[in-house]
Structure 1
């Protein structure tokens, strides 16, 4: 069969754009499509991990991100209702810690656009199938035209509501282990600018409430709630968000804070155990593969890493003649080798945060060397 492309990637977020960059380095002919036009927003906590920065550095994108509004931090501070946990050593080095997703994703997407073919405003509506093989996509372009494109491999990197995963019966629902989170931006909130703050409070744990500076004047505030916990309360996540900013520990901080827009909610498909993320002619990556960390809830780094793994492995696979599930198995093996054990450990560790959370966090992250300080002091 003559294919239009070696690889079609559905979704131009961190997973899809990183995959496109990685696949282009391997010499593949790539089509990257997204329903939106960039820049576009994505509800998120906006925090970047060391893994994100390493991958950005690999593609020479650190300087581009530094040219955009961002925040740098050298520390994470954890709170409960009665204690504060200070890391054992305060780093003097500030690294990029946060970037609004409309900025961060656009930096990645524009880099991918420079080396691959892209189609923005393209809504994927169906997959092209022959017998049990995926060999392309079908959808509607921005001007309303119905179009089809074929490829040796189709990658679903289109987020938690992935049309690729849904069409293949692989969509991960909240019942399979998920979380919900809120996000709101505030100005005039008193923060140090050097710290990311995480509050493990009774209303949300083993989830947490966060305060993350994202630029010189704006702070990202939100809460993550694991599904079994918020379902039992019967309270909407946005109401828990409002309640927490009025709690005794935080109320004074928010008296002069000015909301920028509304509180928004979104769903997070968490990694728990290995699940099907590939098959004949297709793979899933990032949130579409359900890779979000089940302890802290970060997903940008895991999306980027799964995209990087995919691009590197597809370089050789797409130069061959076999695009079956067996041929694509190395991708799934590599992803679960990287994230499987640590995700299962996180799921098992999470209940320890239900009561007295800072001691286990100190033990896990700092080998007990952090300093716990009573908030009464």
Structure 2
């Protein structure tokens, strides 16, 4: 017997679980479908920015989040060493956290389920169910089973099967980053700092990207690097080999394992991070796109969790509002809210993405960042901006 819901969500990651929780708060009958069996690992930097923490707090998870490894500052090597703290903003935390995606995603999925959401794991969505008018009216599982819904939220990742089946594209579809990371033990104390290494060289070129060392607690660290695909030779980079080279630049006293050892224990994971809206407009009749399926990665840093949570919360609320007031043919409210919150940031991000791909531009930018006087002026401007009005999400 075919099941029917108000909202069906493909993908149980941060965007999907946040959307499900938000829609359930409005009284909608919601189902989340994910191909994995949770808990499952997901390649990620595992860092929660202050904004990501604020979304989790608003979802009622403040107590659970407070148990994660706390981060109070960022240490940047450009290559000189300097620090910055999270800006103080009204109603916002001034700290971040680190947590593995297996733990975070399980927490979010269980939280949605506790709110009344039906959760089905090991249920792979193959594509959308489309009605006679061409509107998305549900999803079809790989098994052939159909789940009908008044609205579908595609939160099914960078390679979204729903987006692929609908052949949805965007003028901004080429903007993405490539990242690779591994979790490992290091002979160094746990810290409250996210360490960022800006100087990344490939065949003498300054890359548009950075390396990171994020403490996870208990002597474990998430170490990785990422770079954007506007660099003309990005396809020539062997990411695994490049990570190994980066590890060798870190202090020898940390006694880090070599890349071959990390490959043997299968902790090295690479992924693509779409940025700047790979599905725009972010909806079609009957369906909204969120998280990596939307291409919501933050243009400057590539941070994806906060944007996934935000887009999921807005998608869940917008879907129910549209169904209540006009029906599933028009989710313009979702587009308008994203444009109001992210439009300027992402337009500037796309320009930055193109420019920084030129090694000379990247090199000049790094020299400016390494100049203390310029850096102080830049940071003062950023902190002043952070004190301004905040969006509802």
**Per-residue deviation, 1:297:** 0.6
1:289/1:176 CA distance change after superposition, 3 Å: same
- State the Cα deviation string for residues 258-294 of structure 1 (Å, max 9, x = none): 8564321100101169822201111100100001012
TM-score, normalization: structure 2? 0.83
Separation in 1, partners of 2:213, 2:281 = 35
Which secondary structure state, in structure 1, belongs to the residue aligned with residue 48 of structure 2?
A: coil
1:152/1:273 CA distance change after superposition, 3 Å: closer
* Alignment partner of 1:347 is 2:350: yes
**Per-residue deviation, 1:40:** 0.9
**Per-residue deviation, 1:118:** 1.1
**Contact 1:272–1:340 at 8 Å: present in 2 too?**
no
**Contact 1:77–1:85 at 8 Å: present in 2 too?**
yes
**Contact 1:189–1:219 at 8 Å: present in 2 too?**
no
Separation in 2, partners of 1:281, 1:105 = 26
**Contact 2:181–2:222 at 8 Å: present in 1 too?**
yes
Aligned to 2:151: 153
**Contact 2:32–2:119 at 8 Å: present in 1 too?**
yes
Separation in 2, partners of 1:94, 1:253 = 31
Separation in 1, partners of 2:97, 2:167 = 36
Which sits farther off after the overlay, 337-346 or 157-166? 337-346
**Contact 1:38–1:120 at 8 Å: present in 2 too?**
yes
Bigger RCO of structures 1 and 2 (CA < 8 A, at least 6 apart):
1
**Contact 1:87–1:366 at 8 Å: present in 2 too?**
no
Q: Give the length in aligned residue pairs.
A: 356
RMSD: 2.8
Equivalent residues in 2 for 1:1-377, closer than 5 Å: 4-67=4-67, 70-81=68-79, 83-87=80-84, 95-114=95-114, 115-130=116-131, 131-140=133-142, 146-170=144-168, 176-203=174-201, 205-229=207-231, 231-232=233-234, 234-247=236-249, 250-257=250-257, 259=262, 261-271=266-276, 275-320=280-325, 322-324=327-329, 327-349=330-352, 351=356, 353-357=362-366, 358=369, 359=371, 363-367=377-381
Separation in 2, partners of 1:90, 1:65 = 19
Which sits farther off after the overlay, 217-226 or 261-270? 261-270
Separation in 1, partners of 2:62, 2:75 = 25
**Per-residue deviation, 1:348:** 2.9
Separation in 2, partners of 1:65, 1:148 = 36
Separation in 1, partners of 2:14, 2:219 = 25
Unaligned runs of 5+ in 2: 384-393
Aligned to 2:390: none
Separation in 1, partners of 2:86, 2:273 = 32
Separation in 1, partners of 2:149, 2:378 = 44
Separation in 2, partners of 1:90, 1:336 = 24
Separation in 2, partners of 1:121, 1:5 = 19
1:288/1:172 CA distance change after superposition, 3 Å: farther
Which secondary structure state, in structure 1, belongs to the residue aligned with residue 222 of structure 2?
A: strand
Aligned to 1:375: none
Which sits farther off after the overlay, 169-178 or 47-56? 169-178
Separation in 2, partners of 1:3, 1:35 = 18
- State the Cα deviation string for residues 98-118 of structure 1 (Å, max 9, x = none): 111000111101001122111
Which secondary structure state, in structure 2, belongs to the residue aligned with residue 146 of structure 1?
A: coil
Separation in 2, partners of 1:62, 1:88 = 21
**Per-residue deviation, 1:256:** 4.5
**Contact 1:211–1:222 at 8 Å: present in 2 too?**
yes
**Contact 1:272–1:344 at 8 Å: present in 2 too?**
no
1:361/1:218 CA distance change after superposition, 3 Å: farther
- State the Cα deviation string for residues 122-155 of structure 1 (Å, max 9, x = none): 0111311123200011114xxxx53111111111
**Contact 1:206–1:226 at 8 Å: present in 2 too?**
yes
1:233/1:126 CA distance change after superposition, 3 Å: closer
**Per-residue deviation, 1:361:** 6.0
**Contact 2:86–2:95 at 8 Å: present in 1 too?**
no
